[in-house]
Amino acid sequence: MLNLLIQNKNAVRHLTKSNSHYRNLVDEITRITKSPVLSDSGKIKKIDALLSEHAKQKNVTEQQKIDLFEKSLDRLEKNKDYFDILEKLSIKLQRRITDIVKHLFLMSPHQTRA
């Protein structure tokens, strides 16, 4: 379970980093489009080069990490269901034990020896 929590934490970090990377990409494209120095064709070439570089950086390993994180989250969700069921059964058992303990304490001392 601890391993799944660590994987979940890593997944969140990875998504945060990825989101930041995409945000930077959009910001850079915005700067290019607003550049007074570049012509329209120059802007297109610059944006195309930027997107090509981005595509090179995003490789198979990146997708494998995402798949691993998704599987980890699926396992966490399945474990959540397991623990919900376990909790319900535990409550049922606690209620039964409570009745037994009440009866034991309410019995007189000579009845408990029998």
Q: List, run by run, the mean pLDDT of 10-residue segments along the chain (114 residues).
A: 66 76 90 94 94 77 74 73 77 85 74 53
Containing domain of residue 100, as a range?
Answer: 2-112
User: pTM value?
Assistant: 0.49
Overall number of domains in the chain: 1
pLDDT of residue 40: 93
- For 50, residues 6+ apart whose C-beta sits below 8 A from its C-beta are 25, 28, 29, 32
pLDDT of residue 67: 79
The token pair that represents 47 in the structure block: 């944006």
